[in-house]
Amino acid sequence: MTNVSRLFEPFTFRSGVQVANRLVLAPMTTWSGDPDGSVSQAELAYISRRSAGVGLGITAVGYVTAGGQGFEGQFGAEHDGRLESLRSLAQAIHTGGARAVLQIFHAGHHAPPELVGGDVTSASDVPSSQPQLAASEVPVRPLTGEEVLGIVADFGQATRRAIEAGFDGVEIHGANGYLIQQFVSGHSNRRTDEWGGTLEKRLRFPLAVIDEVKRVVAAHAAHPFLVGYRFSPEEPHEQGLTMHDTFVLLDALKTKNLDYVHVSLQEYAGGPRRGGNAARSRLEQIAEHLGAGTPLIGVGNVWTPEDALNALDLGASFVALGRALLLDPEWVQKVQTGRSDELRTTCSVHDRERLTMPEPLWTRFVGFMVKDRLTDAAD
């Protein structure tokens, strides 16, 4: 029997927040918010069940300003009227004993025009690479310098709301091609002012967001409060991010004394495509570059306890579970009690209620299964 004790070692973050183990509920889009932008009862049930057992539960992402909404059925963190909604979300995660982290973002040019009043904004006028958005006739408008500073402040205000709602931390979403990454990337950031040009200038926006979030935490948090940052290491576009760019980003993040960084990967053991050492996994190289001072959350195609242990061997401090917890909400409990042979990795089209999955998420989940002719879905 595999010795899984390493997965269940407690940890205390730099901020003082303590967690029971090294397993994390990955932030997964559910498309299941109420029409008014509040968290729905279905989403609360979904996340409460999957937070039982993990040390850290990270929410689906909430937008920090109305112009940053990224998809239908997304909940907001953009004004104080959201506090009750956010409070219910934090409580749902705490019910299972996990620490609750609110992920926050601005979609940038990935925002559907109809959700942002037709005003799609980004670092520059480069359109989204998402096919349905790339075909839009609505142009992308570069943000003014004043608007950039306003969005930095919006991240801070969303953090204040997370504190007041009872969360244990926030995760700044700088991954998956959204606005923060759009500023970092040479593909999407063509600016010539202080927010663009060299890589160092392109990093000013994420670093300003981090500084503002940490300022708000220092001013408003009466108890230990986490600040994490999520990033994607590479982009396929010409002038897009390479592993070299990511190493420079990591150097900058290390100076900010974050509680953790969270790498967004489809395959935790996958190798780099652009830059870095092709013979070694991206996770391994990122962990090595970070060093021991900054904990790293790894994610991507983790199904078994052996996968999770392998991710730790490659240098991750924590392992996030996405699809594994979608298909088996009791994954953690089964592994901890020696019942790994009972883990479920398939489902039928009749299993929505058994899996406590909101209808919008289930519809897309089944669509992924049919498309890929598999019995699981992408994160």
When pLDDT is cut at 50, 70 and 90, the band that residue 310 belongs to is very high
Residue 378: is its pLDDT beyond 60? Answer: no
Residue 318: is its pLDDT beyond 50? Answer: yes
List beta partners, residue 102. Answer: 170
Given this model, what pLDDT does residue 349 score?
A: 85
**Using CA of residue 328, residue 46, residue 113, residue 151, what is the dihedral sign?**
negative
Instruction: Report pLDDT digits (tens) over 254-277.
Output: 999 999 999 999 999 999 998 899
Query: If you average pLDDT over residues 182-193, what whole number do you get?
Result: 98
Given this model, what pLDDT does residue 207 score?
A: 98
Residue 374: is its pLDDT beyond 90? Answer: no
Q: What angle do CA 195, 201, 207 make, to 5 degrees?
A: 85
Q: Which one is catalytic: 178, 229, 260, 268?
A: 178
Residue 229: active-site member: no
Q: Are strands 56-58 and 318-321 parallel, antiparallel or unpaired?
A: unpaired
Structure-model confidence comparison of residues 203 and 367, the more confident one: 203
Given this model, what pLDDT does residue 375 score?
A: 36
CATH number of the domain at 5-372, please?
A: 3.20.20.70
Residue 373: is its pLDDT beyond 70? Answer: no
Please state the pTM of the whole predicted model: 0.96
Query: If you average pLDDT over residues 79-86, what whole number do you get?
Result: 98
Residue 81: is its pLDDT beyond 60? Answer: yes
The crossing angle, in degrees rounded to 10, of helices 83-95 and 41-51 is: 30
Residue 66: is its pLDDT beyond 60? Answer: yes
Question: Encoding tokens for residue 103?
Answer: 């992920």
When pLDDT is cut at 50, 70 and 90, the band that residue 371 belongs to is low
CB atoms within 10 A of CB 119: 12
Where do we find the tokens 């760019």? 245
Given this model, what pLDDT does residue 372 score?
A: 52
Distances (CA, A) of 32 to 42, 350, 351: 7, 19, 18
What one-character DSSP code corresponds to residue 21? S
Region for 212 from its dihedrals, namely left if φ exceeds 0, alpha if ψ lies in -120 to 50, beta otherwise: alpha
Residue 96: is its pLDDT beyond 50? Answer: yes
Q: Whole-number mean pLDDT of the chain?
A: 95
Instruction: Report pLDDT digits (tens) over 129-175.
Output: 888 887 788 999 999 999 999 999 999 999 999 999 999 999 999 99
Q: Where are the beta strands (DSSP E) in 127-257?
A: 140-142, 169-174, 226-231
| DSSP per residue, 36-73 | TSPPPHHHHHHHHHHHSS-SEEEPPPEESSGGG--STT
Given this model, what pLDDT does residue 367 score?
A: 77
Q: What percent of the chain has pLDDT over 70?
A: 97
Measured distance CA(24)–CA(295) in Å, rounded: 13
Q: Where are the beta strands (DSSP E) in 177-292?
A: 226-231, 260-263
Given this model, what pLDDT does residue 369 score?
A: 62
Residue 104 CB contacts under 8 Å (≥ 6 apart), including other chains: 61, 62, 63, 64, 77, 155, 158, 159, 162, 170, 171, 172, 173
Instruction: Report pLDDT digits (tens) over 109-122.
Output: 999 999 999 999 99
Residue 368: is its pLDDT beyond 90? Answer: no
Residue 101 CB contacts under 8 Å (≥ 6 apart), including other chains: 56, 57, 58, 59, 167, 168, 169, 170, 171, 226, 228
Residue 244: is its pLDDT beyond 80? Answer: yes
Given this model, what pLDDT does residue 376 score?
A: 35
| DSSP per residue, 98-148 | -EEEEEEE--GGGS-GGGTTT-EEESSSPPPSSHHHHT-SSPEEEPPHHHH
